[in-house]
Structure 1
Amino acid sequence: METIVELKNVTKTIKKRKIIDDISFKVEKGEVFGFLGPNGAGKTTTIRMIVGLMGITSGDITIGGASIKTQFEEAVSHVGAIVENPEMYKFMSGYENLVHYARMSKGITKEKIDETVELVGLTDRIHDKVKTYSLGMRQRLGLAQCLLHDPKVLILDEPTNGLDPAGIREIRDYLRLLAREKNMAVIVSSHLLSEMEMMCDRIGIIQNGRLIDVQLVHEFVQGTETVFEIEVTPADEAIAMLEGAFSGTAFKRSRNGITAELNKEDIPAIIKMLVECGLQIYGVKEVPKTLEDRFLEVTGEKEAPVHV
């Protein structure tokens, strides 16, 4: 894997308050990197610094080996980005918007515009005025704008915001395609954790301006503990019995029985105990954690300090 974006000890201070505190991470070519955090955690501020819309107090950001601080034009030439919402001229057609945007970069041909329009699925509507577009179509047109100059890095802040399920799936599929077929690095921030789980290869968790963790999605979701659900009645009696025998393990009521984080080796002993006490057992199954579950665990357990 080849690093295309690198943040090195990046800090942003506004009015003596650290908004971003010593963040460092790398993004590789061909991967979709998810940037997660609660509202106000610093996601958009970090993205604004990456694309040069906001200055860096200390540290540095390199894109394609070029520093945002000292080689700005070269660094941003590798980037296509939508920060918050794509902005277009609504009285013009989608195609006219792309032609106008293409004038800002050298060497963008009509063939390249047509290819990009087809890639984002706007061929049938590209000559209609933007004011007639749905939100999903405007998002796709914004994506087309980003891709015209063949960037090495695509940065999207909340790209699925306001889209219906079909539109969300389309954007997700486009981004996976770009990473795989074009070997492009894609950086995505979003609050839709289920979508990030399906879209991203790695995720970085930011909270109160500090980077808590960066991991592969499947490793992060898996975590270190396994949750099992035991379908048993009466559930309250089972919980009371098991908590006495397995001190330190929290057994909770679920819709079908009880759940707990357990080692697989403990399951036979638990079943034996419940059967011997006359409780009715209907099944035992592993409950896979979601990205949302792990996200809430991590941001709760590793509360980052607030800097004043």
Structure 2
Amino acid sequence: MGSIVELKNVSKVIKGRKIIDNLSFNVEAGEVFGFLGPNGAGKTTTIRMIVGLINISAGDILISGKSITKEFEKAVQHVGAIVENPEMYKFLSGYDNLVHYARMTRGVSKEKINEVVELVGLTDRIRDKVKTYSLGMRQRLGLAQSLLHDPKVLILDEPTNGLDPAGIREIRDHLRMLARNRGMAVIVSSHLLSEMEMMCDRIGIIQQGKLVDVQLVKDFVNNTEKLYEVEIDRSDEALSVVREYMPGIEVSKSAAGIEIPVTKEQIPALVKLLSGQDFSIYGIKEVSKTLEDRFLEVTNEKGEL
């Protein structure tokens, strides 16, 4: 459906230090884009530039074709965002908080407020004071606030921070629904990589201010040799045998025996080798790599965390 967010050679220099270095990527309508990186990599700085909280030192960011640097108001009107924690007036009800924020944008009706309240699942508690809300409810109220003006882009920095598993799942389901049903471009930054794997269509990895990679989540996770676990007796001896007869393959111990990255076609030769050395093989299974595994591999390849 086309790019909604485009970063073009974006850099940020603070006190003579280049925090963001020539960053370029795009986010499509209808997708959830995960923005990953170690602490201090520049994720929040990038998000702050996208929403206009800090200036761009070089390059440009386009929101629905409008430049953040040249047409800020026209660009930012398409953006809804929660950067770090949503801040609310705790002595007011959830509904009154939304009414207050609605006054900042023209054309937000009571019907629209009720729509977003129902969308985020707060209908039963929206008239209660925010001070009685759980962290998950406050996150959902923040999400409602960011959706009041029907943005084309939703940007969330650590949206599941501090939530219990049920709250995390709720937020994940809401974001998937917004992207799928409303054609919204959703950008999410989070440390919970298992959640990002379930939530996102694509991920971009940033490290030391530079873009390391952008891929579909399924391609990023699967773009490796298959890892197989061999359940076997005398695993220390088996490890030595495989290393001797299959040099160059990084075999390692596992809880049940050994783990080895090979192709499916190499498995018969591996079994023949081990059985020929009188090892008892109890089973062989494929071990799937997670987004967390691949993230740690990639970031360690590009420099220490």
What is the TM-score with the length of structure 1 in the denominator?
0.98
Q: Give the whole-Å Cα distance in 1 for the aligned partners of 2:72 and 2:231.
A: 60
SS of alignment partner, residue 21 of structure 1: strand
Partner of 1:295: 295
> Deviations along 1:133-175, whole A, 9 cap, x unmatched?
1100000000000001100000000000000000000000000
Aligned with 1:10: secondary structure?
strand
Give the letter aligned to residue 22 of structure 1. N
1:303 is displaced (CA, Å) by 2.2
- Structure 2 Cα separation of the partners of residues 282 and 76 of structure 1: 60
- Paired residue secondary structure (1:30): coil
1:238 maps to 238
1:116 match: 116
Q: Which runs of 5+ in 2 are unaligned?
A: none
Query: Are residue 179 (structure 1) and residue 179 (structure 2) matched?
Result: yes
Which residue is 1:17 aligned to? 17
Letter in 1 for 2:200: C
Please state how far the C-alpha of 1:302 moved relative to its aligned partner.
Answer: 1.8
Of 207-216 and 255-264, the range deviating more from structure 2: 255-264
Give the aligned partner of residue 206 of structure 2.
Answer: 206
Deviation readout 1:6-54 (Å, 9 max, x if unpaired): 0000000011100000000000000000000011000000000000000
Q: CA RMSD in A?
A: 1.0
User: In the aligned structure 2, how far is the partner of 1:148 from the partner of 1:57?
Assistant: 31
Structure 1 position 264, deviation (Å) = 1.5
Tell me, yes or no, if structure 1 residue 147 matches structure 2 residue 142.
no
Q: Give the Cα separation in 2 of the matches to 1:296 and 1:82.
A: 27
1:13-52 alignment, distance < 5 Å: 13-52=13-52
Q: Which residue of 1 aligns with 2:162?
A: 162
Question: Residue 102 of structure 1 contacts residue 148 of structure 1 at CA under 8 Å; is this kept in 2?
Answer: yes
Q: How many residues align?
A: 305
Aligned mates of 2:301, 2:284 — CA distance in 1: 28
Structure 1 residue 223 displacement after superposition: 1.9
TM-score (norm 2): 0.99
1:258 aligns with 2:254: no
> Which secondary structure state, in structure 2, belongs to the residue aligned with residue 248 of structure 1?
coil
In 2, Cα distance between the equivalents of 1:190 and 1:247?
39
Aligned to 2:74: 74
- Secondary structure in 1 aligned to 2:215? strand
- Unaligned runs of 5+ residues in structure 1 are none
Give the SS at the match of 1:12: strand
Tell me, what secondary structure is at the counterpart of 1:171?
helix
* Secondary structure of 1:86 counterpart: coil
1:253-289 alpha-carbon deviations (Å, 9 max, x no partner):
1011100111221110010111111100011111000
SS of residue matched to 2:297: helix
CA distance in 1, matches of 2:13, 2:63: 22
Equivalent pair of 1:251/1:260 in contact (CA under 8 Å): yes
Q: Quick check: 1:103 aligned with 2:103?
A: yes
3-state SS, counterpart of residue 224 of structure 2: coil
User: 1:237 is paired with a residue of what secondary structure?
Assistant: helix
Q: Bigger CA drift: 103-112 or 169-178? A: 103-112
Contact 1:223/1:294 (<8 A) preserved: no
User: Are 1:20 and 1:210, in contact at CA under 8 Å, matched by a contact in 2?
Assistant: yes
Distance 1:251 1:67 in 2: 51
